[in-house]
Amino acid sequence: MLDQYERRYAIVRMIEINGERGYRAVTGEPEGRQLIGYYRTLRGACYAAHLHFVRAHGQPGSVNGVGAASRGGRRA
């Protein structure tokens, strides 16, 4: 899979193990590739690979810093 600058961010391969077909998704860096996961459908593998890519570019947590931890308390 390629980003908007034609850089590879994920590789999805079709595999067959014991007669069962599936897909393996890994990150696209030439060195230090990381396994994203194994999936039964191409759609699932591509979704997971894209989600991994998108999450690597954002800040962790909820939007605007409002998360589950801050919802239960009282406001001043």
Q: Cβ distance 27 to 36 under 8 Å?
A: yes
CB count in 10 Å sphere of residue 10: 21
Spatial neighbors of 62 by CB under 8 A, at least 6 apart, are: 68
pLDDT band at residue 8 using 50, 70 and 90 as cut-offs: very high
Residue 41: name the closest of 67, 12, 17 by CA. 12
| 39-60 average pLDDT score | 92
Tell me the domain boundaries of the chain: 1-57
Q: Cβ distance 39 to 48 under 8 Å?
A: yes
CB count in 10 Å sphere of residue 36: 20
pLDDT band at residue 30 using 50, 70 and 90 as cut-offs: confident
Q: Considering the entire predicted model, what is its pTM?
A: 0.74
